[in-house]
Amino acid sequence: MNELLVGDIGGTNARFALWRDNQLHAVRVLPTADYTSLEQAIQAYLHEQGIARGELAAICLAVAGPVDGDEFQFTNNHWRLSRRAFCDMLQVKQLLLLNDFSAMALGMTRLLPGEFQAVCAGDADPARPALVIGPGTGLGVGSLLHLNQQQWMAVPGEGGHVDLPVGNAREAAIHQQMQSQIGHVSAETVLSGGGLVRLYQAMCALDGVQPVHLSPAEVTEAALAGEPQALAVIEQFCCFLGRVAGNNVLTLGARGGVYIVGGVIPRFAELFLRSGFAASFADKGCMSGYFAGIPVWLVTAEFSGLLGAGVALQQTMSLPRN
């Protein structure tokens, strides 16, 4: 057999699938806490699929962190990986490690109807970069380039760590409140799961309101239930995301469109779609007209990282060999 295995390794769960006919098959989600090593988790998956060691042609894993060198320490769980030992144990000749947000970006090339919805209407220019940005545990930012009919390139970056942009007096007050507490305020300081709570606490302090919510889920649930303070926090979160996304579009020339990904926004998708995101996105003074016609999509696909790992593996396998 010449099976291809793809994986998307997170802090809590590891997702695995077989890549056949340019599609995912037999997707499984395994808790990382249940396995002492990545190899053990993969062996459990292969056993479930009736695949023996030595029957895999190649593996591609999307992982959080830099992917150079033989040794890899997962930044969000207890696993470690030696490329050489890994390949020897599983009897696989080719292992491709891919930055998790690069995989997420490549996954945008395989979205199906129903897995995304329009936030801002427009026509993407395929000759220009697309921006992929996603609030989750942190704030991921990357770009996607269409090289030719069959090839895409994901370019990772650290755009989540740019300074948090300020567009009005209220945002300046929020920034000052947060800076007095933590020092430097990056975009990720606010635009992440933990950042949502940090924003809630800052806005409560400014408004003289006693904070009662301790987690992102609590803030989100309160907003969905109509609580005014939580609603104001979600609105401000969306506006900050618009400003950061707009800044990245100008920097990249990203007229190929913008994909909003990650686990945070889909939890309050309807509030996001009604928010001030679009206005803040294009609020760039003399350059505001630049944003006319740039499409923005909210992505709700469940396994974009796995899809991207499959795309990366397929592109690698199809390259000519010297």
9 is annotated as contributing to ligand binding: yes
Residues 35 and 19 sit within 8 Å (Cβ to Cβ): no
234 is annotated as contributing to ligand binding: no
12 is annotated as contributing to ligand binding: yes
Structure tokens at 19: 């890549």
Residues 23 and 269 sit within 8 Å (Cβ to Cβ): no
Report the distance separating Cα 322 and Cα 320, nearest Å.
7
Q: Is the dihedral of CA 33, 36, 41, 44 positive or negative?
A: negative
Give residues with Cβ within 8 angstroms of 117, minimum separation 6. Answer: 269, 273, 297, 298, 300
Give the chain's length. Answer: 322
8 is annotated as contributing to ligand binding: yes
How many CB atoms are located within 10 Å of the residue 124 CB? 17
- Within 13 A of 220's CA, how many CA atoms are on the CB side? 18
Report the distance separating Cα 310 and Cα 106, nearest Å.
9
Give residues with Cβ within 8 angstroms of 39, minimum separation 6. Answer: 86, 89, 90
- Within 13 A of 85's CA, how many CA atoms are on the CB side? 11
How many CB atoms are located within 10 Å of the residue 288 CB? 13
Q: Which residues are annotated as a binding site for ATP?
A: 7-12
Binding residues: 7-12
